[in-house]
A and B are shown apart, each in its own frame.
Chain A
């Protein structure tokens, strides 16, 4: 048996039945094995599209994403996706072809030291030196990608190794995992004592909750504590959005009540969150009166940016139930509820022009229960986080920690394959979509029913907003008023669509989009002057957000 046949068998043994990739010279032996290997392969039109699709598949389907690329430029085109997976803790295993072993290090055609290049953006990586190590390496790669804090693993395989014969055809069983550390009584008691003493506690929910499969435990804890909650971008969908004291996203574009509650709080319970700079704003003025309980599987996050009074590194499914109690915080609950009501978003936008927050709120209300939304990066991403409602974290795929424009369209491709019963929606901008626009052809090829909503302000909107606010309105390289005809571009890829420019066109267009069997492209033109509010400017604390509402 050739090594490449063994790899495909090992993938199947890992439960992998879908991979993403793009062939090329140094990976041709593996593609030959995939030809009739019994594992489905989705051909993207760029390696970056392939790995973003694998990430969308992993995030939406709660499984490992697998992608494959050739050596040299194929491998380097994966780098942004690996970094994205590292920042957002997404389990992915990437296979790259490498030039033959004897030619490594002599500047061969399409040779690059991808292992060296990706040391900083993989959780671990392997260069296969002996085909008989593949059994161990693949098992380790999947274990590393999925355990603890998930992340990307790279396996670089020289072409001669791919073609070599295996000494054994047997794929080993996965090694048993050492059990996670259990609860430490003293730590639990210390956390409970802080909770019991708190008068203004806030639960700060991050992406780790969904990845730990601890949404039920979080909601049970929230119900028991009846506590005000805020969410990071990646945490959205973890807390029950109907919970009366759920205040929404915090941070730079967070909801006012969420930020104010955190600033006033006397105890933050950070759950699978990491005090990211987009969350904290000016770090030394973030939640200045709060003690901190920090719950995260990755001990590296403890005391990295904010010193915790109690830091616990264990499975959230274990620790969250141990914190249940009744809290005597009625005045605080009432106060946060009053703030939530008083600062709620308004949608009575004047004029006939389309107001993106209202459109997204309407779209959210119209989507069937089983849906998923993949975002790109920019203003539309923040509006989506602010104005759409998500009931599960795997329903919102957003490039949070790395902020990768071009994520949304290919992520939706992977997500659509992971969750074929869900309605897959892309919310994107005219800047972001052009970064992986070639994946329209992938959507057409795979006949995926992806609904693409392009919020087009003919600007690189978020950068334009900052230029307007903080760079004297000098719009350096952010005017995109020569964008392509997007509907024609989609049509050229076999995807029907339409353009809407005024409010009254929105609902009928949504009708057509949601009634369509296949992919659909809804091109939404909005004013170039729309901004994302609130906004916490650089260098101030989250209580000092700007709230100037649009004049357009």
Chain B
């Protein structure tokens, strides 16, 4: 089994009622596991910042592009944390 990579993904998105479900669904379905998550409504209440730590044997690029494709996601960044 190949090593798992751990990444921190920071997402800024429209603060719709279902935004957490949308993001978490994509993370799960595309083969990533969440180990830590924080979601904070931004100052204008219309946007939300989600910081999530994910791990997978799959390349983070696959997840990045799927999250980037979500209509509500406006800003996205990824940082490699560690290899396990």
Residues of A within 8 A of B (CB): 115-116, 119-120, 123-124, 127, 140, 144, 298-300, 302-304
Q: A120-B29, A298-B69 are in contact. List 15 more A-B contacts (CB 8 A).
A: A115-B18, A116-B18, A116-B21, A119-B21, A123-B71, A124-B70, A124-B71, A124-B72, A127-B17, A127-B18, A300-B62, A300-B65, A302-B65, A303-B62, A304-B62
Q: Are the CB atoms of A119 and B22 closer together than 8 Å?
A: yes
Q: In the complex the two chains form, what is the Cα distance from A144 to B71 in whole Å?
A: 8
Q: In the complex the two chains form, what is the Cα distance from A304 to B66 in whole Å?
A: 11
User: Quick one: closest A residue to B22, CB to CB?
Assistant: A119
Does B25 touch A at the CB level, under 8 Å?
yes
Q: Are the CB atoms of B66 and A120 closer together than 8 Å?
A: no
- A selection of 9 A-B contacts at a CB cut-off of 8 Å is A116-B21, A119-B18, A119-B25, A144-B71, A298-B69, A300-B62, A302-B65, A303-B62, A304-B62
Residues of B within 8 A of A302 (CB): 65
Q: In the complex the two chains form, what is the Cα distance from A33 to B61 in whole Å?
A: 46
Q: In the complex the two chains form, what is the Cα distance from A304 to B64 in whole Å?
A: 12
Q: A119-B22, A119-B25, A144-B71 are in contact. Are A300 and B66 (CB under 8 A)?
A: yes
B29 nearest CB across to chain A (Å): 6
Q: Are the CB atoms of B65 and A299 closer together than 8 Å?
A: yes
Residues of B within 8 A of A120 (CB): 25, 29
Q: In the complex the two chains form, what is the Cα distance from A120 to B18 in whole Å?
A: 13
Residues of B within 8 A of A303 (CB): 59, 61-62
Q: In the complex the two chains form, what is the Cα distance from A115 to B18 in whole Å?
A: 9
Q: A115-B18, A119-B22, A119-B25 are in contact. Are A300 and B69 (CB under 8 A)?
A: yes
Q: In the complex the two chains form, what is the Cα distance from A302 to B59 in whole Å?
A: 12
Residues of B within 8 A of A119 (CB): 18, 21-22, 25
B37 nearest CB across to chain A (Å): 18
Residues of B within 8 A of A140 (CB): 71
B79 nearest CB across to chain A (Å): 20
A301 nearest CB across to chain B (Å): 9
Residues of B within 8 A of A123 (CB): 71
A123 nearest CB across to chain B (Å): 8
Residues of B within 8 A of A299 (CB): 65
User: Quick one: closest A residue to B71, CB to CB?
Assistant: A124
Q: In the complex the two chains form, what is the Cα distance from A179 to B33 in whole Å?
A: 35
Residues of B within 8 A of A304 (CB): 62
A551 nearest CB across to chain B (Å): 44
Q: In the complex the two chains form, what is the Cα distance from A119 to B17 in whole Å?
A: 13
Q: In the complex the two chains form, what is the Cα distance from A140 to B17 in whole Å?
A: 17
Q: In the complex the two chains form, what is the Cα distance from A119 to B25 in whole Å?
A: 8
User: Quick one: closest B residue to A299, CB to CB?
Assistant: B65
Q: In the complex the two chains form, what is the Cα distance from A447 to B61 in whole Å?
A: 51
Q: Which of B26-49 contact A (CB under 8 A)?
A: 29
B18 nearest CB across to chain A (Å): 6
Residues of A within 8 A of B22 (CB): 119
User: Quick one: closest B residue to A144, CB to CB?
Assistant: B71
Chain A CB within 10 A, most for which of B22, B65, B72:
B65
User: Quick one: closest B residue to A113, CB to CB?
Assistant: B18
**Shortest 10 CB-CB contacts between residues of A and residues of B:** A124-B71, A300-B65, A119-B25, A299-B65, A300-B66, A144-B71, A300-B69, A119-B22, A119-B21, A120-B25
